[in-house]
Structure 1
Amino acid sequence: MESKIEFYEKTYQNFNPYQHFISRIQEMEQKSSYGAEAAVKWLELLKETRIHEAYPVIHPIGQETFSLYAEFPTGVFEYALDIDGATALIKAKGIQPVSFSPSKIIEAVDQGNINKDPNRIKPNHKNPVMVLQSKYLTNDKPYCINGNHRIYEAYQNNDEQIEVFLFRDKEFSLFFYDALSEAIYFLEIDYNNVISEDR
């Protein structure tokens, strides 16, 4: 599958969060009475906060973050994930990794995030291999947010196992670096529940 990373990196800055919120709110409002209730709450949040104005997020120097892009009818949005923060959370909560055969988890690696030139690879193993799998963000497919090269190398070397920290749906909500990323993620959960009529 062809990577869209280059396209995303060229277009994500044009995303208008306010327009996206309003579009989703209107769709929910028109879908059902349950959707109308959810829409009112999101509209109140939008009026009370100015989180939609802080886009795109500024990634801090010296802190490891990751950009995960999502395609919406309103454009491409950059979810900012705090990799250092996720590592701290893993340690604080004593979360244990899962062992995978590299051939089973290689699908989580976006080929656009792989540097295949050995002279340009700078190993950085301070943070573990992390994979997200979300119905609302990754189409329920695994997606590596840290450790792409390690998974790729394990696959190339025919290693038997690789340890991966796997997080699903709401398990990684604390990984978002900024309030807007978190808000858009929960907006999408509500939106999908309304549209699918799943409470």
Structure 2
Amino acid sequence: MESKIEYYENQSYKFDPLEHFTIRIEEMKKQSSYGKMVASKWMDIYEQILTNEGYPVVHPIGQETFSLYAEFPTGVFEYALDIDGATEFIKENNIEPLKISPKEIIQAVDTGNINRDPNLIKPNHKNPIMILQSKYLTDNHPYCINGNHRIFEAERNNDKEIEVYLFSELKFDPFFYDTFSKAIYFFEIDYWNVILDKRYLLNNENEAFAYRL
């Protein structure tokens, strides 16, 4: 399947966070009393916190980050992930990698993240191979956020296994580089919980991720 990375990069600059929040908040208000409560909290968050945040985020020089894109009816949003920070999180929490056959995870590699010109490849193995799998960020598909070339080469060389860190829903919460990225992720969970009248990943009926930001 052809990669959409270049398209996403161009379109993400046009994303209007205020429009996105406004449209979805109005939908949530009309859905239920729970929706009104959650929508009100998110409007407060936008007005008190997010209006002071810049979008798109400026990626730091000298620190490894990764852009993960999501398509919404309002446009393409860029989630910024802190790869260096994720590595520190792995070390601090003594997380162990999985040993997986490259053939099983090659689908996690977006071809748009593979540089096929060997003269332009700059090997950087200070951070391990990391894969996210999220209903809200990756449509439940595994997606490599670091180590794409290593998976690609391991699969091409028929290596038996490769060490990978796999993070499921909410486990990658500490990896968000900026407030907007974390907010949009939590907002997306709350939005669908309201629309579908679910409490996915929550502990009680009146809880919402808006209160965890």
Residue in 1 that maps onto 2:183: 183
Larger helix fraction of residues: 1
Residue in 1 that maps onto 2:109: 109
1:67-96 superposed Cα distances (whole Å, 9 cap, x missing partner) = 001111111110000000000000001011
| Equivalent residues of 1:68, 1:81 under 8 A apart | yes
Residue in 2 that maps onto 1:60: 60
Residue in 1 that maps onto 2:90: 90
**Cα RMSD between the aligned structures?**
1.1
Are the structure 2 counterparts of residues 25 and 130 from structure 1 closer, same or farther at C-alpha, using a change threshold of 3 Å? same
Are the structure 2 counterparts of residues 178 and 51 from structure 1 closer, same or farther at C-alpha, using a change threshold of 3 Å? farther
SS of structure 2 residue aligned to 1:76: strand
Residue in 1 that maps onto 2:18: 18
Partners of 1:101 and 1:107 lie apart in 2 by 12
1:27-176 correspondence to structure 2 within 5 Å: 27-51=27-51, 53-176=53-176
| Equivalent residues of 1:133, 1:166 under 8 A apart | yes
Are the structure 2 counterparts of residues 77 and 196 from structure 1 closer, same or farther at C-alpha, using a change threshold of 3 Å? same
Structure 2's unaligned 5+ residue stretches are 200-213
Partners of 1:89 and 1:50 lie apart in 2 by 25
SS of structure 1 residue aligned to 2:96: coil
1:35 deviates by 1.4
What TM-score comes out, normalization by structure 2 length?
0.91
Matched AA of 1:166: L
1:182 deviates by 0.5
Of 9-18 and 145-154, more deviation after overlay is shown by 9-18
Partners of 1:119 and 1:50 lie apart in 2 by 41
Q: Number of matched residues?
A: 199
SS of structure 2 residue aligned to 1:170: coil
Of 24-33 and 68-77, more deviation after overlay is shown by 24-33
Structure 1's unaligned 5+ residue stretches are none
Partners of 1:47 and 1:122 lie apart in 2 by 42
